[in-house]
Chain A
Amino acid sequence: MRSLIYFVATFVAALILGIGSAWYMIERGSPLTTTKVGPWDGWISAGNPNADFYTRAHVARSGRLPLTSTVARYFVARTDDDGGLLSSDCEYLVVGGALNARWWSLALYDEYGGLIANPSSRYSYNSEEMLRHSDGTFHVTLSRNARPENWLPSGETDQHLVLMLRAYGLRETDSSGIGIIPNDRLPKIERKSCG
């Protein structure tokens, strides 16, 4: 009797461990598949026909058709710099500088990847329209209410947020031609206030 309980317990533990680890490595990535810089995750081989199984599963689950990483890179942030989940209840300041890319865009989504309705129909800022300071840096505020400079509205409903930075035609690449953004170039996401 006791050995049966041990067997069942072993099996249940294995199921949780096996599926849990698979889910985590597909959903959030691991050092094998993703570049993690602060709050940003970038899948190194997304869209690449030679990609590993974790990356392929991630792309299939995402419902997206990303460009292969030699053409464009995508970085996703679900948290601020301190690791707190991005929430429409808080106000954030995103600060970044020039990226060595032909074109790039910073867009805000709800946690399911949907654009957030707002009166000014503003969902993103790209390299051509972002207002910049004289030193080349930009400030974007994520908040419910209108803010000066670059404002990405986070909507009226209480929800978690996802930021995506996409960069086309990165001029710096690794030996296999995959575009690189130096770590210190990815924008900082600072939480200002909540509630």
Chain B
Amino acid sequence: MRIRLPGLYIALGLVLAGLIHIVAVLALPMLAPKNGYARLASLGPTNTMIQIPPAAPGQQAMPMMAPDIRYAFCRFDLTKGPVRLTSKLADDLFVIALYTRDGDNFYSLTGADMKRPDIDLIITTTDQTVEEAGVDSPESADSDIIVSSPVKEGIALLRQPLAGPSRTSYAEKALAAATCAPYAKSG
């Protein structure tokens, strides 16, 4: 067969290249073997607050971690009910951020948003109510922040940027006091 239309091959090539481009972009998040979620998830069990050691050469839970931020995280699992996070604020630089498996930061709260020196946050799925899980009294419910999560499993990442080298131990202590646990019915 004679090639009468080299332009046809160019057009075919471009269409094919476009399709391959789209497939590659859509498939990549699934093919990426170790996204941030997977890296942290392997460090410990669910519904437990885990402090990440300060970033140092050869000792980083994720690439490009900040050496001057202290981190702690909790991989929350809401299949058995809501999960409660508590933490002390070292200062207004504190940030708590909730992520899906894909790394979508669907909720964040900074120390500057808070009027009180401690955070008490309950994560639920959209079909769970905290009342069902048993809030003791309306007053305590008022003081809690309730976040409805689009996913059953995700990560809460706590960041405490250091406001100067002298603040390091203070920041580490504040994060060490953070907790994460299933929100228990209390009597």
Contact = CB atoms under 8 A, between A and B. Distances in A.
Interface string B3-17: 100100110111011
Q: 3 smallest A-B Cβ distances: which pairs? A: A18-B20, A113-B63, A14-B16
Size range of the interface on A? 35 or more
Given A10-B9, A49-B106, A102 B16 contact: no
Contacts of B150: 49
A26 to B, nearest CB: 6
B6 to A, nearest CB: 8
A124 B67 contact: yes
Interface residues of B, number: 63
A71 B57 CA distance: 27
B146 interface: no
Interface string B81-123: 0000000000011010101101111101010100000000000
A60 B13 contact: no
A141 B26 CA distance: 40
A166 B122 CA distance: 29
A62 B63 contact: yes
Contacts of A21: 17, 21
A50 B64 CA distance: 23
Given A65-B157, A71-B110, A105-B69, 20 more contacts: A2-B1, A3-B1, A7-B9, A14-B14, A17-B13, A17-B14, A18-B18, A18-B20, A67-B95, A67-B159, A72-B95, A107-B66, A107-B68, A112-B63, A113-B64, A116-B57, A123-B55, A124-B66, A124-B68, A162-B64
